Structure formats: structure tokens, C-alpha cells
Amino acid sequence: MLLRKVVIATGNQGKLNEYRKILDGPELRVLGLEDVPVAMSEVVETGRSYVNNAIAKAVAIAKTTGIPAIGDDSGLEIDALNGAPGPVSARYGINLRQKHVRSERDRNELILDLMKSIPLPKRTARFRACVALAMPGNIIITREGICEGFIAESPRGDDGFGYDPIFLIPDGRSMAQIGDLKNTISHRGKAITALLTAISSGKQAIDA
């Protein structure tokens, strides 16, 4: 199964940029929602897990557009916070009734405040991503990727998005400090690589 064109089912420009860096090329055209007649507001995350949310996004966009679609759901899991924020990472703070938490920076500051008394060795965390490919005929493939690390004591770096400035990889740099290396070692990069391997194992070309 070879893809010629795919829609990335996300309204997050940072995620879309990463997908384009990893996937876009002469053999595969990567489309964003701005390229197709659908709004992400039409897709509701109803699942309590990454995989359910990723499938919901991919299936909805594939059915609406008639084009293969990749849905993505990911989150930050912090051991000292019992796995939070987890699947609600993009909305963390709101679910805690923290009305002042309105931006990515606010969410980062909230987490740092919650962890201010926790020493670095106990600030273990991981990024987890689930990606789902859905065909218009409802064929679904899912894969997962994980990146282990630590939560920083203060933000570092200016690149990336979301929790990247407060997530440290083992060498001490944050995800916002490593440039394109992120696409190789990140949870999303690993999940996409696994998905590509699964796709390339087939023989049928999808020209939609």
C-alpha cells in the first residue's frame, strides 16, 4: 500500500509542520485542513485514550474528504503527577478549573509550579503519541511512539511548540533546543516511522 496523498487531521500548525518535514516529498503530498473542505471543529475527541482520539480524527477526515487521513493524538505523562496531563494535555489546566490557563505558556508554567518542590531525578516523564491512518474505505492502521525524558525546572529554548520547552531529553537539552533532531527522536517521529513501515509493507498504491 503506497500513499500518494494524505490529509493530516490536525488544527495544530506545529504538528502539521512536523508531519510535512517528515513525510512531504516527490512521492507523497501532505495536505493540511486548509487544503480540504473541512474544519477541525467538526471532529470531536470522544475517546479517553490517545488511540481512540487519533482514530476518530482520521476516520472523520477520510470520510469527509475521500482522501486517506492521518489522525494524531499525543500527550505528556509525568510520573510525579500520576501520569497527568496525559490525553488531556492540550486542555490541561482547564480541566483543573484553572481559568487563567489559556495558552501553551500558561500550561507550562502551571506544570512547573505543580512540580516546584520535586528534584530532577524524580521529574521523569514521557511524551506519547498515537497516529492512525484511515482510508476512505475505513481501513485503519495505528502505531505508537514514546520519548522518555525529564521535566525541566524552567523553560529552555525557543523552537517547537506545546510542552517542548520544559521537556528534557537525556543529554539535558529541551525539545525546544534540538532543531530537526526532534523529528528523529520524538514520540511523533517514532510513531510516524512505524506507520510508514506498516504502509510500505503493502503493495497497492492509493492514488486518492
Could you list the active site residues? Answer: 73
104 half-sphere exposure, CB direction, 13 A CA radius: 13
124 half-sphere exposure, CB direction, 13 A CA radius: 5
> Which residue, among 9, 125, 128, 19, has the nearest Cα to 75 in the 3D structure?
128
Q: Which residues, including other chains, have CB under 8 Å from residue 155's CB and lie 6 or more apart?
A: 108, 112, 165, 166, 174, 176
